[in-house]
Amino acid sequence: MRTACWIGSKRGLTDAREPLRRYFEARIALGEPPVILPGLRRSEALEALAGGGGGVTGTRPEEEAPIAAEPGAPEAPTPSTPELARLAREGTAERIRELDFDELREVALACRRCALHEDRQHVVFGEGASDARLVCVGEAPGAVEDETGRPFVGRAGQLLDLMLMSVGLRRDEVYICNVLKCRPPGNRNPQPEEIAACSPLLLQQIDLIDPKVIIAFGTFAAQTLLGTRESIGRLRGRTHLYGRFPLVVTYHPAASLRNPGWKRPTWEDLQIARRVIDGDSGLRSGAAGRELSLDLP
């Protein structure tokens, strides 16, 4: 049974406007039905939700658009030391693995270690909690990510947010990044030399965060992290090891938007990751799914 979102008053809706608007937009991405707001006329609801509609009318955006939130951070200035500036151009993986988180970010934001820096607007280093229990890894930034400097935005990001909510996690509780930090031209597949240049940055990110589990979203991220050519269909549904970290493979949110039948398997994979976080008890993951009344197709 699907449930509507009940807000006690128009004032209550106004106070909760921004998070509620994002939630409704995520419902649209999941294909959920319109939400009924008792006691409000449609015009009042639209006004309270800052004109976005956010799924109140059940309309569906025709194409992906960026979240109208804060833009990504601008490019960083020249690294603070000559050694960091050198590592942004060249340098061994072993030396990069010695950096702390702030130094790593400086190197990444000034990176010229492969040709992708020539056309980028922003380096998409990653965002989230530095002590996150879960790290989400995608393939590479897309056009919206390149424009904003933020990973997993637009409709795919909204779907990811709702999927995380379904297993009791907020976006700001996890860490989200990509195998590559710069967008490949035309969203083509990353090249081996690009992966080689970026991999030390990703490895050090994960080591410094020290999560309980990693989720690889999409075939490329899964195959890159696991060093395999197996299909995602054969890799998902169980826990792997990436170094010392448990790793769960699932479909990319953008692929689930194109193939709605993959949403439920993705949710099931996130449940596996949630059980790893909870010490394999699985209790909190089931409770979270019921609490949100998430009815995935």
CA dihedral angle for residue 254, residue 150, residue 223, residue 212, rounded to 10 degrees: -110
Q: If you average pLDDT over residues 174-193, what whole number do you get?
A: 94
Counting Cα atoms < 13 Å in the Cβ hemisphere of 65 gives 12
Q: If you average pLDDT over residues 224-252, what whole number do you get?
A: 94
Residue 162 pLDDT greater than 80, yes or no: yes
- For the segment 134-160, what is each residue's pLDDT rounded down to a tens digit? 999 999 999 999 999 999 998 999 999
Q: What is the pTM of this model?
A: 0.70
Query: Binning pLDDT at 50, 70 and 90, where does residue 128 land?
Result: very high
Domains of the chain: 1-59 (no CATH), 122-291 (3.40.470.10)
pLDDT of residue 187: 86
Query: Binning pLDDT at 50, 70 and 90, where does residue 48 land?
Result: very low
Q: 94: burial class by Cβ within 10 Å (0-12, 13-18, 19+)? A: exposed
Q: If you average pLDDT over residues 48-69, what whole number do you get?
A: 36
- CA dist., res. 224 & res. 179, Å (int): 8
Residue 125 pLDDT greater than 90, yes or no: yes
Average pLDDT across the chain, whole number: 78
CA angle 184–186–192, rounded 5-degree value: 35
- For the segment 64-102, what is each residue's pLDDT rounded down to a tens digit? 333 333 344 455 558 999 999 999 999 899 999 999 999
Residues across the chain: 297
Residue 211 pLDDT greater than 70, yes or no: yes
Residue 28 pLDDT greater than 90, yes or no: no
- For the segment 278-291, what is each residue's pLDDT rounded down to a tens digit? 996 333 333 233 33
245-250 and 239-242 beta bridge pairing = antiparallel
